[in-house]
Structure 1
Amino acid sequence: MSQPDLSGEVAVVTGGSSGIGREICLSLADAGADIVVADLRTEPRTGGTPTHERITQETDSDARFVDCDVTEQDDRQTVATTAAEMGGADVLVNNAGIFRGEEFSEVTEEEFDQLMAVNVKAVYFLTQALIDQLLDEGGRVINLSSVAGLEGSGDFVSYCTSKGAVRLMTYSLADKYGPEGVRVNAIHPGIIETSMVTEDVPIIGGESEEAFLQTVPMREFGQPEDIADAALYLASDQSGYVNGESLVVDGGSTHT
């Protein structure tokens, strides 16, 4: 099988400065795509060269950073304008998201609204802001859901709710725009070694690490590169007949 070639295409990646989003940006750029890195911060959370600078230094692709709060309509429109200036978006990766563990009975309406604004509403309205460009180019939309969007968990009711919404939004958009040449798919990561699961939760490095590891048949956690490989597949012609699909990347944990 030949390597995916995205030369001449423009990809928008939210949350592209760190973690999974950073690896997706680098993977798409290595395949030839120009990248719009949309994030609240320029530098990776773990340090190092900003994603857009690394792309321009290490690849033949162009890259621009957009200071973007995905919950703000003006910022979403700036992303769309930047993509148009670069030639129009061919690929949109809705990667930005937040996670919160919880006790269901203690979740406030403000906390719930914030989670839904980032994880669901932003996906909906950024896709809306870019849909005309994607229609012009026969585009692809890749939404980052989660295994939590497939299976419910009493420890993460709000998060599961948000990621389940992303999954059904994906299917609905695939049905609406598939006839017009836009493919829409979702990736459902399992536990991936990023700062989210080492610092924010934490799962890796915490007391529950071994228990979580035993739920993964491969007995190892995923890496951001694993999700980037899946995104590259869905962004390329290699997935030309894949639409309205959930690609689960979790080492087999969902099916045990």
Structure 2
Amino acid sequence: MEPLLADDVAVVTGGASGIGRAIARRFAAEGADVVIADIEESPREGGDPTHELIADETDANATFVECDVSNPGDLEAAVDAAEAFGGVTAMVNNAGIFHGEEFLEVEEGDFDRMVDVNVKGVYFGAQAAAKRMVDSDGGSIVNLSSIAGLQGSADFVTYCGTKGAVRLLTYAMAATLGSDGIRVNTIHPGLIETAMTTDDYAIIGTEAEDEFLGGIPAHRAGQPEEVADAAVYLASDLSAYVTGESLTVDGGMSNTL
């Protein structure tokens, strides 16, 4: 059976760790060459760098590019790196940050940093890829949002705002780029077991875990690989007639709260 992403070239921001790492590995397993664009080469969860792991696991080409997604120039450089493999055909804007907050105590610097990474990084990552795609045969852009982009939360006001922005940016990008053969979709992960949920959210492995799992119909946290499967679908020809869509991967959590 032909790999789903044979002859594709993907750029995955935040690809060194967590969900991005799982996406990069899954894309490579499906035949894509991959550029891992991240601010750090070493995975937060430990182990070999993603591009080295891909080289050990598959026949795909993979490289790492240091990239701060709040800097449009870094995003342009990451997309440029894909030219070594033939040019970007799939862009996964996965990089994001989170911190809990009390709304009345949020400081401007924290607000700006979250917007810069979670919104500006997606906007200019998509723009950098689309510039190349309009001159080729089109492509697929997958933006990572969150179920926090679908509903409000008292403790995560800024985060919800940034992830909601990603959802609406996706719809507008799909409308703008469709005539150029570029599909744009977004994934909304729920509680996924990564360093973000163990360290930043501080949910997995804490007393709060049972409360959260009890509110999820699947009665468990998701795994990064399950989000990666959704990304493969949206990047491949399996979703050739899908654009401007939100795909929720949350075990039913957002529809039952």
Deviations 1:99-123 (A, max 9, x none): 1111000001111000000000011
Which residue of 2 is the match for residue 77 of structure 1?
76
1:117-196 alignment to 2 at 5 Å? 117-135=116-134, 136-196=136-196
Change (3 A) 1:3 1:219: farther
Q: Which runs of 4+ in 1 moved over 6 A?
A: none
- Segments of structure 1 that go 5 or more residues without pairing to the other structure are none
Deviations 1:60-88 (A, max 9, x none): 10001001111123211211211123211
Provide the C-alpha distance between the structure 2 equivalents of 1:87 and 1:36, rounded to a whole number of angstroms.
12
CA RMSD in angstroms comes to 1.1
Give the SS at the match of 2:143: strand
Which residue of 2 is the match for residue 255 of structure 1?
255
The residue type equivalent to 2:56 in the other structure is: Q
Change (3 A) 1:240 1:4: farther
**Post-superposition shift, 1:132?**
2.0
Give the SS at the match of 2:132: helix
**Post-superposition shift, 1:8?**
1.4
Give the SS at the match of 1:46: coil
Which residue of 1 is the match for residue 5 of structure 2?
6
Is the contact made by 1:10 and 1:83 (CA closer than 8 Å) also made in structure 2?
Answer: yes
Q: TM-score, normalised by structure 1?
A: 0.97
Provide the C-alpha distance between the structure 2 equivalents of 1:137 and 1:68, rounded to a whole number of angstroms.
26
Deviations 1:38-74 (A, max 9, x none): 0111111111111101111211100010011111232
Pair 1:215 & 2:220 matched: no
Provide the C-alpha distance between the structure 1 equivalents of 2:190 and 2:211, rounded to a whole number of angstroms.
14
The residue type equivalent to 1:41 in the other structure is: E
1:59-98 alignment to 2 at 5 Å? 59-98=58-97
Give the SS at the match of 2:141: strand
Change (3 A) 1:230 1:4: farther
**Post-superposition shift, 1:3?**
6.3
Provide the C-alpha distance between the structure 2 equivalents of 1:224 and 1:73, rounded to a whole number of angstroms.
27
**Post-superposition shift, 1:131?**
1.1
Give the SS at the match of 1:187: strand
**Post-superposition shift, 1:192?**
0.2
Which residue of 2 is the match for residue 36 of structure 1?
35
Give the SS at the match of 2:230: helix
- % identical aligned pairs: 56
**Post-superposition shift, 1:207?**
2.3
Deviations 1:116-159 (A, max 9, x none): 00000011112111212222132000000000000011110000
The residue type equivalent to 1:163 in the other structure is: K
Give the SS at the match of 1:155: coil
Pair 1:49 & 2:40 matched: no
Give the SS at the match of 2:248: strand
Provide the C-alpha distance between the structure 1 equivalents of 2:147 and 2:33, rounded to a whole number of angstroms.
29
**Post-superposition shift, 1:4?**
4.7
1:202-241 alignment to 2 at 5 Å? 202-241=202-241
Change (3 A) 1:66 1:210: same
Is the contact made by 1:4 and 1:237 (CA closer than 8 Å) also made in structure 2?
Answer: no
Provide the C-alpha distance between the structure 2 equivalents of 1:56 and 1:220, rounded to a whole number of angstroms.
32
Is the contact made by 1:4 and 1:236 (CA closer than 8 Å) also made in structure 2?
Answer: no
Deviates more, 1:239-248 or 1:3-12: 3-12
Deviates more, 1:20-29 or 1:78-87: 78-87
